Structure 1
Amino acid sequence: MTPLTFTGAAVDPLWRDLDLTVQPGEFLTVLGPNGVGKSTLLNVALGTRHLSRGTVEVPDRVGYIPQQRMFDPDLPVRVRDLVGLAIGHGVLSGRRPSRFVVNAALDEVGAAGLAERRVGTLSGGQQQRVRQAQALAGDPQVLLCDEPLLSLDLRAQRDTVDLLDRRRRERDTAVVFVTHSINPVLDVTDRVLYLGPDGHVTGTVGEVMTTEVLSDLYGTRVEVATVNGKLVVV
């Protein structure tokens, strides 16, 4: 399997000189303030954004969980059909996905009971489960997740993190997880890619989330503290 690999990669003026390989089964958390190009990194891997220079190698099967946007309430599409369409545009392009594959994808995210519902009638949390099913249905080798916890309550956040962690451990699926806060994924993160205004750095949580490293990335004093087991950046 080809791991997700960036070599000398740049998207001007956001970030440059990125050398990064995400190994199978690895959970990489991408952090940084607004405007530094976190979502752009995922778009490059998806092929919807081009590099200014450098190269990117991407596995054959990629799953994508986008930022939460509510479906049109009047959209006349069932959950089952929407997940089937996602599969039809992936590795099974041109073929009608089997009912078994669709059911398995919905079951994996705890959404089997939503199969016949119209997607526009679902709550935000339910719609996010449908997006997870779409991302997982093609048996991805890497999962690209763009702020997948937005608009979810604490229980749904924990369920999502548990799902992604279980998936990468059982299927060796790499996870690239863009977020503003590392705390919900602190216990499952293998490495951090921190994109800052003055550069980027990659390493373990302990190596990256320090006062010295973040101060260098921001070009000003940044304090990092641990409070009740959570990281606080001020």
Structure 2
Amino acid sequence: MNAETKPESLQEAGTADDKPALVFRDAGIKRGERIIWQHGNFSIPSGSITAIVGTNGAGKTTMMKAELGLLPLFNGSLTVLGGPAGTTNHLIGYVPQNYAGDIESNLTAEQSVLLGLTGTRFGIHPVTRAQRARAREAMSFTGVDDKRHYRLSELSGGLRQRVAIAQALVSGPKLLMLDEPLANLDLAAQRETVHVLARLNHEMSMTIQVVAHDLNMLLPILDSAVYLLDGHPHYARMNEVLDADLLTHLYGTKVQVVTTPQGDMFVTPDPDEPEDITPDIHNPDEVAGFHRHHAENREQEAEL
């Protein structure tokens, strides 16, 4: 993002508008001759937090790469922040799954965050005072400002993840995309990361998209989810996300949704407990209807 378009402060960065952040219209992706997913028809509202969920190989990271314009569609269209995919990347902050592995371990946390502004290793272009102040603001927001002089190799996985978020945040994006940000973190670090995402959304109205295997930790902050099932993306709003049938189909094992004092969550039965579940043989049309069945049941009950 250049100096003319960059927000004056992080608080101005993610302000949502009334237009959808992402719009898929019959979108499809291939790898060689293999169709990864197709018939993507949905939109994601601005200012929302959405999870991308699916089993290994379903195409979760592929979806993000398509949104960044790194992979071409073989069919349909994909609009991101009002423009074709790949044309609005200056408004997107991206945190890859292997962030720590991609950055030299001898960089300090502050140097790593500054890469989000300079895009280069140091010694080529001098860092300005304004850039350093911007990095400090991003690090303060994510709670790692006191670690700015530590090398990444000296930080825990949770702290490195928050440094990665600060690096993505420092340029003032309107859309923040994270690929498995909670993977390999302990519960305390997961909670800290989720708390940062919640603040970004609530205080800046930032649109956030998270690739995730396990939704339980994210449930308190989610507005919606995109399920990748049977090679088709299925969008579900928050009141439809916790659908036992849909989750059972997704994870390939029986899933139960339970209510706890901390809120709704989903669980799978203990492996030692007998299961009366038969192999899943739903076709794509049935799956597409799964996330609507609760609403339909309520309508039927109302009629009775």
TM-score by length of 1: 0.86
Question: Mapping of 1:16-35 within 5 angstroms?
Answer: 16-35=38-57
Which residue among 163, 168, 182 is the counterpart of 1:135? 168
The aligned counterpart of 1:203 is 236
Question: Mapping of 1:1-234 within 5 angstroms?
Answer: 3-12=21-30, 13-59=35-81, 60=88, 61-71=91-101, 75-89=105-119, 96=127, 98-197=131-230, 199-214=232-247, 222-226=254-258, 228=260, 229-233=264-268
Residues 172-192 of structure 1, C-alpha deviation per residue, up to 9 Å, x if partnerless? 211111101111011111111
What's the CA shift for 1:16? Answer: 0.6
What's the CA shift for 1:221? Answer: 7.5
Larger Rg over CA atoms: 2
1:119 partner letter: L
**Mapped partners of 2:126, 2:206: distance in 1:** 24
Distance 1:73 1:216, change over 3 A: closer
Report if the CA contact (8 A) 2:244-2:256 is conserved: yes
Report if the CA contact (8 A) 2:255-2:266 is conserved: no
SS of 1:187's equivalent in the other structure is helix
Report if the CA contact (8 A) 1:194-1:208 is conserved: no
Residues 90-119 of structure 1, C-alpha deviation per residue, up to 9 Å, x if partnerless? 9xxx99552110100111111111212222
CA RMSD of aligned residues (A): 2.7
Report if the CA contact (8 A) 1:143-1:174 is conserved: yes
**Mapped partners of 1:223, 1:117: distance in 2:** 43
SS of 1:140's equivalent in the other structure is coil
1:204 partner letter: R
* Count of aligned pairs: 230
Q: Larger relative CO (CA 8 A, sep 6+): 1 or 2?
A: 1
Q: Percent identity?
A: 30
Report if the CA contact (8 A) 2:52-2:211 is conserved: yes
SS of 1:21's equivalent in the other structure is strand
Distance 1:79 1:201, change over 3 A: same
**Mapped partners of 1:201, 1:186: distance in 2:** 18
2:57 partner letter: G
What's the CA shift for 1:120? Answer: 2.8
Residues 124-145 of structure 1, C-alpha deviation per residue, up to 9 Å, x if partnerless? 2221111011111111111111
- List runs of 5+ in structure 1 lacking aligned partners: none
What's the CA shift for 1:159? Answer: 1.3
SS of 1:175's equivalent in the other structure is strand
**Mapped partners of 1:166, 1:30: distance in 2:** 20
What's the CA shift for 1:198? Answer: 5.1
Report if the CA contact (8 A) 1:71-1:120 is conserved: no
Report if the CA contact (8 A) 2:105-2:152 is conserved: yes
